[in-house]
Structure 1
Amino acid sequence: MVKRKSMVILDTEIRPGRKTILNLDIARLHNRTKVEIPVIVQRGREDGPVLLLIAGIHGNEVNGVEIIRELISRKINRPDKGTVICIPVLNVFGFLNQTRDFPDGKDLNRFFPGSKTGSLASIFAYYMMNEIMPHADYCIDFHTGGADRFNSSQIRISRDHPELLELAQVFKPRFIVYAPEREKSFRQVATKMGKKVILFEGGKSLDFHKRITMRGVNGVMRTMHHLGMRDFSDEISANEITEPIVINQSSWFRARHGGLFRFFLKDGAKVEKGEIVGSISDPYGSFEHLVKIPHDGYIIGMNHAPIVYQGDALVHLGTV
Structure 2
Amino acid sequence: MPKDILNILGVEVAPGKSVTATFEVAKLHTRNTLEVPIIIERSKKPGPTVLMTAGIHGDEINGVEIIRQIIAKGINVPKTGTIICVPVINVFGFLNMDRLFPDGRDLNRSFPGSANGSLASRVAHFVMTELVPHVDFAMDFHTGGAGRFNAAQIRIVRDNEQLTELAHVFGAPFIYYSQNLNKSYRNACDKAGIPMLLFEGGKSFNIDTNITNTGVNGAKRVLHHLGMLRTKFKVSRPKVSAVIIEESKWLRAKYSGMFKATATINSKVTKGQVLGNITDPYGSFNYFVKAPNDGYIFNVNESPIIYQGDAIFHISTEIKNS
Smaller-chain TM-score bracket: over 0.9
Q: Which residue of structure 1 lines up, in the alignment, with residue 163 of structure 2?
A: 164
Partner-residue secondary structure (3-state), 1:222? helix
**Aligned partners of 1:126, 1:13: CA distance in 2, in Å?**
20
Name 1:280's counterpart in structure 2.
278
2:191 aligned residue? 192
Q: Which amino acid aligns with 2:261?
A: F
The equivalences for 1:100-179 within 5 A come to: 100-159=99-158, 161-179=160-178
Which residue identity does 1:309 align to in structure 2?
A: Y
2:52–2:140: 8 Å Cα contact kept in structure 1?
yes
Structure 1 spans left out of the alignment, 5+ residues: none
Structure 2 contact 8–131 (Cα < 8 Å) conserved? yes
What's the offset of the Cα at 1:26? 2.7
Provide the aligned length of Structure 1 versus Structure 2: 317
4+ runs deviating over 3 angstroms? 231-234
CA distance in 1, matches of 2:182, 2:267: 31
Q: Which runs of 5+ in 2 are unaligned?
A: none
Tell me the secondary structure at the aligned position of residue 176 of structure 2.
Answer: strand
- Residues 161-202 of structure 1, C-alpha deviation per residue, up to 9 Å, x if partnerless? 332100100001110000000001000011111101110000
State the shift of 1:4 in Å.
7.9
Contact 2:154/2:199 (CA < 8 Å) preserved in 1? yes
Q: 1:314 aligns with which of 301, 312, 315?
A: 312
CA distance in 1, matches of 2:138, 2:188: 12
TM-score, scaled relative to structure 1:
0.96
CA distance in 2, matches of 1:4, 1:211: 41
Percent identity (aligned): 49
3-state SS of the aligned residue for 2:47? strand
Look up the SS of the partner of 1:221 in the other structure: helix
Contact 2:139 2:197 in 1 (8 A): yes
Seen in structure 2, the aligned counterparts of structure 1 residues 298 and 232 have a Cα distance that, compared at 3 Å, is farther
Aligned position for 2:293: 295
Counterpart CA distance in 2 for 1:233 and 1:73 is: 15
1:1-320 alignment to 2 at 5 Å? 5-159=4-158, 161-231=160-230, 235-237=234-236, 240-318=238-316, 319-320=318-319
CA-CA distance at 1:18 after TM superposition: 2.2
Counterpart-to-counterpart distance in 1, 2:163 and 2:136: 13
Indicate if the aligned counterparts of 2:172 and 2:238 stay in contact, CA closer than 8 A: no
Q: Distance in 1 between matches of 2:245 and 2:136?
A: 26
Q: Distance in 2 between matches of 1:303 and 1:129?
A: 33
Please report the RMSD computed on the Cα atoms of aligned residues, expressed in angstroms: 1.4
Question: Distance between the aligned counterparts of 2:188 and 2:68, measured in 1?
Answer: 26
Structure 2: which amino acid aligns with 1:62?
A: I
Cα distance, 1:102–1:160 mapped onto 2, change above 3 Å: farther
> 2: distance between equivalents of 1:234 and 1:310?
48
**Post-superposition shift, 1:5?**
1.9
SS of the residue 1:260 aligns to: strand
Contact in 1 for aligned 2:224/2:235 (Cα 8 Å): no
Which residue identity lines up with residue 270 of structure 1 in the other structure?
K
Deviation at 1:17, TM superposition (A): 2.2
Structure 1 distance, partners of 2:45, 2:90, is 32
Deviations 1:42-93 (A, max 9, x none): 1112010011000011111111000000111111111110111000000011
What displacement does 1:231 show?
A: 4.4
Structure 1 residues 94 and 166: alpha-carbon distance in aligned structure 2, compared to 1, 3 A threshold: same
1:221/1:232 contact within 8 Å kept: no
Q: Which residue identity does 1:302 align to in structure 2?
A: V
Structure 1 residue 240: Cα displacement: 4.4
